[in-house]
């Protein structure tokens, strides 16, 4: 693939804290390599700002390997940018061309308040997990892996749901800021396994209750969440969540 350099105009959301109104600021970056990652381009911009005695842009990142999901950015109106099934850190500048204007914003959701610039507080996801996204087990001797037979189809579906990295792209993509894809993935990964059966009903009821408490909206059924998910979490999980919730609700009324 041909390597080339480009000059870009960046319109980046700057916000001092959660109480600040915030707004877009325009920056020029030059000689950006097409082989840079999007975050490396931001590193260059921040070095430029620091050299000018200006406050660098705050943005989240950790692994930069597409694993943790912390690199969340809204790029030209799309969570994580234009490439399909790709996190921001794995998006490369060859996705753009010389002279482009790129607008970068944080996730937009009531449940994800902005901390500073492009960093949002996603602790709401952590609280949903704490409400029931786990399996309680007694410690002791490790059980052999083959002691509990699991049909391969169930194991594959559970593994696919467990691939969710909790980045929040589904929330950012949804016009109602729904967290249904995230919650359904975390419910599904355990509902499909025998180890998750003991808390199956309480898990879905508690996690959905916490989701509502955090202020996430209702599912729009448009499929934008699945389309923008970097791990391609399936909408089938939302259907499973609805079935699990209905069954648990009826059981709790008996």
10-residue stretch averages of pLDDT, the chain, 254 residues long: 92 96 98 97 98 98 95 97 97 97 97 98 98 85 79 96 98 97 98 93 98 97 97 98 97 76
Could you tell me how far CA 30 lies from the centroid of its own chain? 30
Q: Which of the listed CATH numbers 3.30.70.2740, 3.10.20.30, 3.20.20.70, 3.40.190.10 matches domain 5-105?
A: 3.10.20.30
Contact present, 118 and 59 (Cβ < 8 Å): yes
Residue 92 pLDDT: 97
Sheet strands (E) in 15-113:
23-33, 74-75, 78-79, 101-105
Residue 189 pLDDT: 97
Q: What's the CA gap between 181 and 189, in Å, rounded?
A: 12
Residue 147 pLDDT: 82
Residue 4 pLDDT: 94
Domain map (residue ranges) of the chain: 5-105, 123-253
Q: Name the class of domain 123-253.
A: mainly alpha
Residue 254 pLDDT: 64
Q: What is the pTM of this model?
A: 0.94
Contact present, 12 and 24 (Cβ < 8 Å): yes
> Hey, what's the torsion of the CAs at 16, 17, 23, 26, to 10 degrees?
40
Residue 65 three-state SS: coil
């Amino acid at each position: 693939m041909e390597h080339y350099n480009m000059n870009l105009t960046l319109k980046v959301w700057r916000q001092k804290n959660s109480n600040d109104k915030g707004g877009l600021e325009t920056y020029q970056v030059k000689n950006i390599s097409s082989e840079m990652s999007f975050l490396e381009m931001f590193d260059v911009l921040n070095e430029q700002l620091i050299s000018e005695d200006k406050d660098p842009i705050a943005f989240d990142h950790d692994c930069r390997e597409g694993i943790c999901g912390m690199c969340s950015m809204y790029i030209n109106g799309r969570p994580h940018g234009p490439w399909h099934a790709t996190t921001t850190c794995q998006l490369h500048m060859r996705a753009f061309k010389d002279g482009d204007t790129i607008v970068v914003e944080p996730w937009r959701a009531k449940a994800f308040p902005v901390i500073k610039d492009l960093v949002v507080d996603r602790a709401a996801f952590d609280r949903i997990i704490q409400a029931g996204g786990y399996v309680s087990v007694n410690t002791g001797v490790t059980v052999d892996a083959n002691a509990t037979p699991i049909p391969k189809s169930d194991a594959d579906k559970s593994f696919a749901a467990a691939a969710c990295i909790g980045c929040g792209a589904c929330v950012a993509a949804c016009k109602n800021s729904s967290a249904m894809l995230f919650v359904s993935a975390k419910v599904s990964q355990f509902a499909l396994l025998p180890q998750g059966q003991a808390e199956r009903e309480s898990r879905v009821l508690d996690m959905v209750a916490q989701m509502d408490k955090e202020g996430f909206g209702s599912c729009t059924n448009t499929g934008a969440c699945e389309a923008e998910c970097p791990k391609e979490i399936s909408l089938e999980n939302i259907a499973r969540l609805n079935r699990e919730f209905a069954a648990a609700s009826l059981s709790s009324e008996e």
